[in-house]
Chain A
Amino acid sequence: MPRPGAVIEVDRNTPPVLFHYGEGIRLEKLPLGARIVYPPDPLEPITHPERAIKRALAKPLEDDPLKSLLRRGMKLTIAFDDLSLPLPPMAAPDVRQLVMEEVIDMAAEAGIDDLHIIAALGLHRRMTNDELRHIVGDRIFSTFHPDRLYQHDGEDPDNNVYIGKTSAGEEVTLNRRAAESDLVIYVNLTLVPMDGGHKSMSTGLASYRGIRAHHNVKTLLGSRSYMNPPDSALHHSCIRQGQLIEDTVRVFHIETTVNNHAFPAIANFMQKRETDWTPQDQAMFLATKQMTDIAPPAFKRNVFHAMRAPYGLTAVNAGQVDAVHDKTLDAVNKQIAVQVEGQTDIVTIGVPYLGPYNVNSPMNPVLVVCMGAGYLFNFYRKQPVLRKGGVLILTHPTRYEFDAVQHPSYIDFYDEVLADTKDPAEIEKKYELRFAEDPWFRQLYRKSHAYHGAHPFYAWYWAAHAMEHAGDIIIVGGDRDVVHRLGFKAATTLEDALEMAEQTVGRYPSVTHLRTPPIMLCEVE
């Protein structure tokens, strides 16, 4: 029986705690009385994933068995999530591959000639062929690529259709092939509660016009948090859009969840609590620490990004979107939820080397904000772990480092927009449309492997709630100039950061450290 998550109070016997520090790690001593929140241990995975998938397809939730929906002569489209999930990328075979192979077997049996498979990447970057092959597997890739397996292009004027407006006035667009299909089967992998459900189709297969309806400052400030769909304006908007999509096209949803076994055996110490470290774990920690201290960033990045997570499938559900997503959220919460009592003055988080938008590239400063103050801060239900006006302390080297291929618009965003203002609302009003409609960014998004021109704005809005909520945000170990450009404070050591934080929250503050990754969701009473 895997252990649930835990909140440990630091006493004299508590060992130093692990902090992720970009492509590096640190052990830090927390003040006595501070709390450390640990994620639950990985749940036992399903022993026979293929049987579970077959069962889910044969007995879907509030829908007919998939086999009965497939008929010769129909136009069938399979859409699947891109490489932004799971993190780190899953060791082969990816669960999306297993699900799609079952679905394609059924389609072949039914004799469906017109089958297309689309990577639903929304405004994310196009994947390389090797990345695509890793997700779908060799067999699907060699059979369908490139004419029947391709990636969604949200800027293709011919292949996106406008569907209509929701009751709240949100515009809805959809990939033309999906909109004209007799059946769309969406294969999703839900790692965190934010993903899946109606958000899959309404974001993954939409254009900028549809996505900007909910990826904006107002909606994200109204999401407390966007990791908790019932309290998330973002998800309410996606549900409205999704319902309109369901009126247009028949959707069969398949959602999978995995446990939080995020690190391979070689980095197992990152997965474990420090008190559980064996001599091998301690040796691996020392070796990794030495390596990351002296190795050049590019080398470290290659080592870290080569890691593949041995995730295990914990649930697979198929059928009607809402019914499926409810079950999926239950399964995800079972894996990542931790009960935490009360808020604190200071929250510390180690920002790891990887976020959803920097797979196989460095985490640029804007993405550090997105990851630390956006995603990691928002992993809560009911209320944030940090009290209003408290101090959020992140650890990350935060260098001026951008991938010119994947993040061209981020460079301009950092150099031009952040030099002018840090206020998300002002940024949205003044700059977003110009970047979104920039013909060069559009070209790079469509033909190269670049994120959409509007994407750095979304990364920034993601952190809007934390910026509004926190009295101060301090980045430990960050490049001073870069951190100041982001509008935060830089500290050399954690002790200094705690000292600086006391100026905001007063003497003897309460401190909580979120020991993540692996991912956890704090249920704060």
Chain B
Amino acid sequence: MRVRRAWHWNTPRPHSWPEQGAVVPAPPSDLGWARVEPVRSIRYLIQRALLLPFTEAMVHPKVEGREWVRELERPVIFAANHSSHADTSLILHALTDAARERTVVAAAADYWFKRPFLGNVVSLFLNTFPFSRTGGAQAQLHSSSQLLKSGWNLVLFPEGSRSADGRIQEFKPGVGFLAKETGTPVVPMHIRGAFQVMPRHQKLPLPGPIRVRIGKPMTPAKNEGTREFTARVETAVRELSAEQRKPELQGTWIERWRASKPRDLRYES
């Protein structure tokens, strides 16, 4: 299409032009209101009273490796496979209370925030923030890194969108970039069964067996590139899907035992 003469970038769009497509990034709002009181307390009540009991009743998820998120010393990125809208609830269910309260979820800006009302409601429930999955996303990555730096854990689905057939897709390098830029550990997670419970184009979830497996936090090496680290995270998530436990990913029993040590011993006077 030819640009009309005498048209300037700061003038309204001509009516004859097509609507803005999904490729255009959403307006840069990080929904800060959702991360301050009293919204946090309201969200806590909503999650404890509705979301978590509903998740538990529907699918009774089996969580392995919760010890790795029991007492996180610093913010982390949770990187999980993505095959269903149920994934976010399942991840939040798998986290400990302390970790869940300090966790934000990266939600596709062009999908969830296309309708502002929906975006805000979802943010109230799940503490989401708009995350662009298209080009020109430096600003978005910057706001994510700001969240990490201010102490929030970040749930990220590095595949970018839900899998069409339940299989894990190639990871986008954003997760590696964020981890490298902020020096944040990445906790690989694998969710098995979510695709059967609520695949694409299905409105309501069905009951079914779910397993959420959490791996040992991974930190990028000094001389490791963004793409190499992303590939390592992707391999870890893929390997977590295997039936057998992998001590190198999930830790030896001694590491897991130490990680799960409660802060206060019972019966101590």
Task: Tell whether A113 pairs with B252 under 8 Å between CB atoms, given A48-B267, A143-B67.
Answer: yes
Q: Does B66 have its Cβ within 8 Å of any Cβ on chain A?
A: yes
Nearest-neighbour CB distance to chain B for A148, whole angstroms, equals 6
Instruction: Check A139–B267 contact: CB distance below 8 A.
Output: no
Instruction: Check B267–A143 contact: CB distance below 8 A.
Output: no
Instruction: Check A113–B260 contact: CB distance below 8 A.
Output: no
Using Cβ atoms and an 8 Å threshold, which residues of chain B touch A105?
257
In whole angstroms, how far apart are the Cα atoms of A104 and B261 in the complex?
11
Nearest-neighbour CB distance to chain A for B268, whole angstroms, equals 8
Instruction: Check A50–B253 contact: CB distance below 8 A.
Output: no
Nearest-neighbour CB distance to chain B for A330, whole angstroms, equals 24
In whole angstroms, how far apart are the Cα atoms of A104 and B262 in the complex?
14
User: Chain A residue with minimal CB distance to B265?
Assistant: A50
Count of inter-chain pairs, beta carbons less than 8 A: 41
Nearest-neighbour CB distance to chain B for A77, whole angstroms, equals 14
Instruction: Check A50–B257 contact: CB distance below 8 A.
Output: no
Q: Does B150 have its Cβ within 8 Å of any Cβ on chain A?
A: no
Using Cβ atoms and an 8 Å threshold, which residues of chain A touch B245?
147
In whole angstroms, how far apart are the Cα atoms of A182 and B245 in the complex?
25
In whole angstroms, how far apart are the Cα atoms of A113 and B251 in the complex?
12
Instruction: Check B265–A143 contact: CB distance below 8 A.
Output: no
Q: Which of A75-97 touch B at CB < 8 Å?
A: 93
Task: Tell whether A143 pairs with B252 under 8 Å between CB atoms, given A48-B267, A50-B267, A93-B266.
Answer: no
Q: Which of B63, B252, B256, B266 contacts A50 (CB 8 A)?
A: B266
Q: Which of B244, B254, B258 contacts A113 (CB 8 A)?
A: B254
Using Cβ atoms and an 8 Å threshold, which residues of chain A touch B268?
48, 50
Q: Which of B233-269 touch A at CB < 8 Å?
A: 244-245, 252-254, 256-258, 260, 262, 265-269
Instruction: Check A111–B66 contact: CB distance below 8 A.
Output: no
Using Cβ atoms and an 8 Å threshold, which residues of chain A touch B256?
142-143
B: number of interface residues (CB 8 Å): 20
Q: Does A267 have its Cβ within 8 Å of any Cβ on chain B?
A: no
In whole angstroms, how far apart are the Cα atoms of A111 and B244 in the complex?
22
In whole angstroms, how far apart are the Cα atoms of A104 and B66 in the complex?
19
User: Chain A residue with minimal CB distance to B269?
Assistant: A48
Using Cβ atoms and an 8 Å threshold, which residues of chain A touch B267?
48-51
Nearest-neighbour CB distance to chain B for A320, whole angstroms, equals 27
In whole angstroms, how far apart are the Cα atoms of A93 and B265 in the complex?
13
User: Chain A residue with minimal CB distance to B64?
Assistant: A142
Q: Which of B65, B254, B262 contacts A139 (CB 8 A)?
A: B262
Instruction: Check A108–B260 contact: CB distance below 8 A.
Output: no
Instruction: Check A143–B266 contact: CB distance below 8 A.
Output: no
User: Chain B residue with minimal CB distance to A104?
Assistant: B257
In whole angstroms, how far apart are the Cα atoms of A93 and B266 in the complex?
10
Q: Mark A304-325, 1 if CB is under 8 A from B, else 0.
A: 0000000000000000000000
Q: Mark A138-159, 1 if CB is under 8 A from B, else 0.
A: 0100111001100000000000
In whole angstroms, how far apart are the Cα atoms of A108 and B268 in the complex?
21
Nearest-neighbour CB distance to chain B for A212, whole angstroms, equals 36
Q: Which of A48, A93, A111, A139 contacts B260 (CB 8 A)?
A: A139
Q: Which of B254, B262, B269 contacts A111 (CB 8 A)?
A: B254
Using Cβ atoms and an 8 Å threshold, which residues of chain B touch A115?
253
Nearest-neighbour CB distance to chain B for A440, whole angstroms, equals 26
Using Cβ atoms and an 8 Å threshold, which residues of chain A touch B257?
104-105, 108, 139, 143
Using Cβ atoms and an 8 Å threshold, which residues of chain A touch B252?
113
In whole angstroms, how far apart are the Cα atoms of A48 and B262 in the complex?
17
Task: Tell whether A144 pairs with B253 under 8 Å between CB atoms, given A49-B267, A50-B266, A50-B267.
Answer: yes
A: number of interface residues (CB 8 Å): 17
Using Cβ atoms and an 8 Å threshold, which residues of chain B touch A143?
67, 253, 256-257, 260
Nearest-neighbour CB distance to chain B for A99, whole angstroms, equals 13
In whole angstroms, how far apart are the Cα atoms of A147 and B258 in the complex?
18
In whole angstroms, how far apart are the Cα atoms of A516 and B53 in the complex?
40
In whole angstroms, how far apart are the Cα atoms of A142 and B68 in the complex?
11
Q: Which of B99-136 touch A at CB < 8 Å?
A: none
Instruction: Check A142–B66 contact: CB distance below 8 A.
Output: yes
Task: Tell whether A142 pairs with B254 under 8 Å between CB atoms, given A50-B265, A50-B266, A50-B267.
Answer: no
In whole angstroms, how far apart are the Cα atoms of A467 and B15 in the complex?
98
Most buried by A among B245, B267, B268, B269: B267
Nearest-neighbour CB distance to chain A for B239, whole angstroms, equals 16
User: Chain B residue with minimal CB distance to A111?
Assistant: B254
In whole angstroms, how far apart are the Cα atoms of A190 and B269 in the complex?
27
User: Chain A residue with minimal CB distance to B245?
Assistant: A147
Using Cβ atoms and an 8 Å threshold, which residues of chain B touch A113?
252-254
Instruction: Check B258–A108 contact: CB distance below 8 A.
Output: yes
In whole angstroms, how far apart are the Cα atoms of A143 and B65 in the complex?
8
Nearest-neighbour CB distance to chain B for A115, whole angstroms, equals 6
Q: Mark A40-51, 1 if CB is under 8 A from B, else 0.
A: 000000001111
In whole angstroms, how far apart are the Cα atoms of A344 and B174 in the complex?
84
In whole angstroms, how far apart are the Cα atoms of A178 and B2 in the complex?
81
Q: Which of A100-115 touch B at CB < 8 Å?
A: 104-105, 108, 111, 113, 115
Using Cβ atoms and an 8 Å threshold, which residues of chain B touch A50?
265-268
Q: Mark A49-67, 1 if CB is under 8 A from B, else 0.
A: 1110000000000000000
Using Cβ atoms and an 8 Å threshold, which residues of chain A touch B269?
48
Using Cβ atoms and an 8 Å threshold, which residues of chain A touch B262?
139
Q: Which of A104, A111, A142, A148 contacts B67 (CB 8 A)?
A: A142
Using Cβ atoms and an 8 Å threshold, which residues of chain B touch A142?
63-67, 256, 260
In whole angstroms, how far apart are the Cα atoms of A51 and B269 in the complex?
11
User: Chain B residue with minimal CB distance to A114?
Assistant: B253
Using Cβ atoms and an 8 Å threshold, which residues of chain A touch B265?
50
Nearest-neighbour CB distance to chain A for B244, whole angstroms, equals 8
Most buried by B among A104, A111, A113, A139: A139
Q: Mark B210-239, 1 if CB is under 8 A from A, else 0.
A: 000000000000000000000000000000
Nearest-neighbour CB distance to chain B for A92, whole angstroms, equals 11
Nearest-neighbour CB distance to chain B for A44, whole angstroms, equals 15
In whole angstroms, how far apart are the Cα atoms of A115 and B256 in the complex?
13
Instruction: Check B254–A148 contact: CB distance below 8 A.
Output: no
Q: Which of B65, B66, B253, B260 contacts A148 (CB 8 A)?
A: B253
Using Cβ atoms and an 8 Å threshold, which residues of chain B touch A148?
253
In whole angstroms, how far apart are the Cα atoms of A147 and B252 in the complex?
12
In whole angstroms, how far apart are the Cα atoms of A139 and B252 in the complex?
14
Show 10 residue pairs from A and B whose CB-CB distance is below 8 angstroms, ordered by the A residue: A49-B267, A50-B267, A108-B253, A108-B254, A108-B258, A142-B64, A143-B253, A143-B257, A143-B260, A147-B244
Given contacts A50-B267, A105-B257, 18 further A-B contacts (CB under 8 A): A48-B267, A48-B269, A50-B265, A51-B267, A108-B254, A108-B257, A113-B252, A113-B253, A139-B260, A142-B63, A142-B64, A142-B256, A142-B260, A143-B256, A143-B260, A144-B253, A147-B244, A147-B245
B residues bordering A, Cβ < 8 Å?
63-67, 244-245, 252-254, 256-258, 260, 262, 265-269
**A-B complex: 4 closest residue pairs judged by Cβ atoms:** A108-B254, A143-B256, A50-B267, A139-B260
